[in-house]
């Protein structure tokens, strides 16, 4: 059966309190965010084996094995100094992933937009940018492999790698055992394809099922207002967790949009019957509703 989990970052407390609160909701796994009120994990040097083992053991003591680790950053940031800083931090997470309890570390590919990590840019689709991205992903995959880990790419439409076709191309060009895929179907939808929901979902799984290691659970919908800017929730969390969409597409919590969850979960369970699926894009108060929604959908499809 599919394992239902949540990002630890939606529980902004000290380590022990975060684990206790997550377990109180009945989850049995977490995606680990290296952010706890009582720990300094802000630099590559501050991420140590001892700290990671403490985090791993605390979640294990609460019956919450770590299924994957967040490493989200703009890996292709257009400022090379900033890119190096960000990717050095990501590499530190990759080196210590096993110490945290899972080999899987996740990030999107980012954008060359100098003003935002979330908005698209025309140069994202240039051959020069693609080749640059290939070089960065290959380097991260090797870093992961050298330390018994795996770098999981999360496709997102506003990033350099933002479609099924671009994902397939990247995996062909970086054919590496240190590279896998995080499946989040909401990230593939734009204005032009959101009304072809089932066809796009089936295309994703027909093309990418063998690369999937972890899955996410949020939702997708057309924006209901005229605000085409980036949208962020007012929560105590990183920008990656507060982000709720940009332009005509919003990305709310699971059960609040139009994603065909029955089809998504059926296709996911067919080839990955025991995969962790991680809830996101919500605040702590909405956790019981979102979990109830996912529990019901999983039961309905027998997953």
> What's the pLDDT tens digit per position in 192-231?
999 999 999 999 999 999 999 999 999 999 998 777 778 8
* pLDDT tens-place string over residues 38-63: 999 999 999 999 999 999 999 999 99
Question: What is the model's pLDDT at position 245?
Answer: 85
Average pLDDT value for the chain: 96
pLDDT value of position 189: 97
- Give the gyration radius of the chain's Cα atoms: 18
What pLDDT is recorded for position 233?
86
φ/ψ of 33, rounded to 5, equals -100, 130
Q: Are 182 and 188 in contact (CB under 8 A)?
A: no
C-alpha span between 271 and 300 (Å, rounded): 18
Place of tokens 């007012």: 234
pLDDT exceeds 80 at position 278: yes
Distance CA 135, CA 45 (A): 25
Helices 164-173 & 127-146, crossing angle to 10 degrees? 60
- Judged against a pLDDT cut of 80, whether residue 119 lies above it is answered with yes
What pLDDT does residue 225 have? 73
d(CA 136, CA 77): 11
In which band, very low, low, confident or very high, does the pLDDT at 134 lie, cut at 50, 70 and 90?
very high
pLDDT of residue 72: 97
Inform me whether the pLDDT recorded for 162 exceeds 90: yes
pLDDT score for 39: 97
Give the confidence band of 287 by pLDDT, cuts at 50, 70, 90: very high
Residue 13: closest CA among 230, 300, 284:
284
pLDDT given at position 226: 73
Greater confidence (119 vs 267) lies with 267
pLDDT digits (tens, 9 = 90+) for 226-255: 777 788 889 888 888 888 888 899 999 999
In sequence order, what DSSP letters do the residues of 17-64 get, joined into one string? Answer: HHHHHHHHTT---EEEPS--TT---SSGGG--HHHHHHHHHHHHHTT-
Domains of the chain: 3-219+255-301 (3.20.20.150)
Instruction: Tell me what the mean pLDDT of segment 277-289 comes to.
Output: 97
First to last CA, the chain: 5
Q: Rounded to an integer, what is the distance from CA 67 to the centroid of its chain?
A: 12
């Amino acid at each position: 059966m599919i394992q239902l989990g949540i990002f630890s970052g939606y529980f902004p407390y000290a380590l022990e309190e975060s684990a206790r609160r997550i377990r109180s909701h009945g989850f049995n796994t977490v995606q680990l965010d290296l952010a706890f009120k009582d720990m300094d994990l802000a630099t590559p040097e501050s991420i140590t084996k001892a700290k990671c083992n403490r985090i791993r053991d605390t979640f294990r003591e609460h019956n919450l094995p770590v299924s994957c680790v967040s490493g989200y950053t703009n890996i292709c940031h257009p400022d090379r100094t900033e890119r190096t800083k960000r990717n050095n931090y990501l590499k530190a997470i990759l080196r210590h992933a096993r110490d945290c309890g899972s080999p899987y570390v996740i990030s999107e590919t980012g954008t060359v937009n100098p003003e935002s990590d979330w908005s698209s840019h025309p140069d994202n689709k240039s051959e020069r940018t693609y080749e640059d991205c290939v070089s960065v992903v290959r380097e991260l995959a090797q870093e992961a492999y050298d330390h018994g880990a795996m770098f999981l790419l999360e496709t997102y439409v506003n990033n350099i790698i933002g479609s099924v076709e671009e994902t397939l191309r990247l995996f062909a060009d970086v054919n590496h055992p240190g590279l896998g895929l995080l499946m989040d179907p909401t990230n593939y939808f734009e204005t032009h394809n959101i009304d072809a929901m089932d066809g796009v979902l089936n295309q994703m799984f027909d093309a990418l099922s063998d690369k999937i290691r972890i899955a996410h659970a949020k939702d997708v919908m057309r924006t209901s207002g005229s605000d085409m800017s980036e949208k962020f929730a007012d929560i105590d969390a990183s920008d990656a967790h507060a982000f709720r969409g940009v332009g005509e597409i919003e990305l709310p919590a699971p059960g609040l949009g139009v994603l065909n969850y029955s089809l998504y979960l059926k296709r996911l369970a067919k080839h990955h019957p025991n995969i962790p699926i991680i809830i996101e894009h919500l605040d702590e108060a909405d956790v019981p509703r979102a979990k109830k929604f996912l529990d019901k959908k999983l039961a309905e499809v027998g997953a």
